[in-house]
């Protein structure tokens, strides 16, 4: 995880040499943070039986689509790709009604979110 964090930080330092690229990066970080937070809350709600299956699946698809849209015209940092992978795992867990695997994926997502916040802070972005 530390390697991914360092690689992402280095990538961002190299990538951020134009203000428009910087704005796109800020948008990517903000969007990714918001939608991963949504996924976190959604996953916990689904595990408690608070939201129906179809809504959970639809919202997860939306999360992935929104993050993918934010990465257009921009090579996403490795951490964002990791997050997208975790989102896909959560989607599979919910489709398979596997609450045990979901708990593990949500824990992983929580760690990645904290790393995202650290990256954003390094960029001067308040999430």
Partner 1 sequence: MSKILEVALGILTSIGGFLDVGAIATAAEAGSSFKFQLLWVILLGTICVIFLVEMSGRLAAVSKHTLADAVRERFGFNFYILPLLAEVIVDFLVLGAEIGGVCIALQLVTGISFQWWAIPVSFAIWLMLWKGNFSLIENGVSFLGLVTLAFVVATFKLRPSLPAVAQGLLPTIPHQDTTHYLFIAVSILGALISPYLFYFYSSGAVEDKWDKDILGVNRAVAGLGMGFGSIVSMAVLIVAALVLNPKGIQVDSYEQAALMLTQPFGYWGFILFAASLGIACFGACLEITLDTAYIVAQAFGWNWGENLHPQEAARFSFVYTIFVFLAALLMVFGIDPLQLTLFSMALTAVILPITIIPFLVLMNDPKYVGEYKNGWMSNSVVIFTIALAFIIAIFAIPLEIIGG
Which residues would be at the binding site for partner 1 (CB under 8 A)? Answer: 23, 27, 30-31, 33-34, 37-38, 40-42, 45, 48-52, 54-55, 58-59, 62, 66, 113, 126-127
Task: Give min distance, CB of 37 to partner 1, in A.
Answer: 4
Which candidate, 5, 37, 57, places its Cα nearest to that of 109? 37
Task: Give min distance, CB of 71 to partner 1, in A.
Answer: 14
Q: Which is nearer to partner 1, 5 or 29 (CB)?
A: 29
The answer to whether 108 and 86 have CB atoms below 8 angstroms apart is yes
For residue 72, the SS3 value is: coil
d(CA 45, CA 93) in angstroms, rounded, equals 14
Which candidate, 116, 89, 109, places its Cα nearest to that of 101? 89
Task: Give min distance, CB of 110 to partner 1, in A.
Answer: 11
Q: Which is nearer to partner 1, 41 or 103 (CB)?
A: 41
Q: Which is nearer to partner 1, 14 or 90 (CB)?
A: 90
d(CA 2, CA 78) in angstroms, rounded, equals 12
């Amino acid at each position: 995880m530390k390697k991914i964090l360092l690689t992402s930080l280095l990538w961002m330092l190299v990538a951020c040499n134009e203000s428009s690229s910087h704005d796109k990066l800020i948008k990517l970080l903000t969007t990714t943070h918001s939608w991963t937070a949504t996924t976190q809350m959604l996953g916990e709600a689904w595990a408690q039986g608070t939201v129906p299956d179809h809504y959970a699946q639809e919202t997860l698809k939306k999360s992935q689509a929104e993050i993918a849209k934010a990465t257009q015209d921009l090579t996403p940092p490795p951490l964002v790709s990791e997050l997208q992978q975790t989102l896909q795992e959560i989607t599979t867990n919910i489709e398979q009604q596997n609450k045990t695997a979901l708990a593990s994926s949500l824990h992983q997502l929580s760690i990645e979110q904290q790393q995202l916040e650290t990256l954003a802070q390094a960029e001067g972005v308040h999430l």
